[in-house]
Amino acid sequence: MAENPFLELDRKMVGDIHTSSEAMENMEILCDDFGSRFGGTAGERQAATFFRDKYKEYGLSKARMEPYKYASWARGETTLEIVSPVQHEIPCIALPYCPSARLEAELIDVKDGMPGDFEVRKLRGKIVMATSFPGRGLGRSVHRSEKYARSALGGGIGFIFMNHYEGLGPATGSIANNREALIPGISISKEWGEYLLRLVRRKGKVRLKLRTRNRTRTRTSWNVVGELPGNRNSDRWAVIGCHYDGHDISQGAHDPVSGMAAILEAARVLSAYAADRIGCGIRFIAFGTEEIGLIGAKEYVKAHLEEMGQIRLMLNMDAAGGAGRKGIVMHHWPVLDDFFEGAREQMAYDLPYGQRLSAFSDHFPFFEAGVPTASMGDVEATFSGRGFGHTAFDTLDKIKLSNLREAASVACRVLLRVACAEKWPARLRSKRVVERITKKEPNLEIVKVEAELEKLYRRKR
Residues that bind Zn ion (CB under 5 A): 255-256, 318
What is the torsional sign of CA 326, 331, 332, 333?
negative
Residue number, 147 or 243, with CB nearest to Zn ion: 243
Residue number, 73 or 118, with CB nearest to Zn ion: 73
Rounded least distance, CB 44 to Zn ion, Å: 15
Rounded least distance, CB 116 to Zn ion, Å: 28
Rounded least distance, CB 252 to Zn ion, Å: 8
Residue number, 265 or 318, with CB nearest to Zn ion: 318
Residue number, 244 or 353, with CB nearest to Zn ion: 244
- Residue 7 CB coordination number (10 Å): 12
Rounded least distance, CB 374 to Zn ion, Å: 15
| Exposed e or buried b per residue across 133-145, where buried means at least 16 C-beta atoms within 10 angstroms of its C-beta | bbbeeeebbbbbb
- The number of CA neighbours under 13 Å toward the Cβ of 29 is 14
Rounded least distance, CB 254 to Zn ion, Å: 9
Rounded least distance, CB 290 to Zn ion, Å: 6
Residue number, 210 or 249, with CB nearest to Zn ion: 249
Q: Residue 54's closest CA among 29, 20, 21, 33?
A: 29
Residue number, 270 or 294, with CB nearest to Zn ion: 294
Rounded least distance, CB 92 to Zn ion, Å: 23
Residue number, 174 or 233, with CB nearest to Zn ion: 174
Rounded least distance, CB 243 to Zn ion, Å: 6
Residue number, 107 or 294, with CB nearest to Zn ion: 294
Residue number, 230 or 322, with CB nearest to Zn ion: 322
Strand 185-188 and strand 61-84: pairing? unpaired
Q: Residue 60's closest CA among 268, 274, 273?
A: 268
Rounded least distance, CB 245 to Zn ion, Å: 9
Q: Is residue 325 a contact partner of residue 378, using CB atoms and an 8 Å limit?
A: yes
Residue type, 57: E
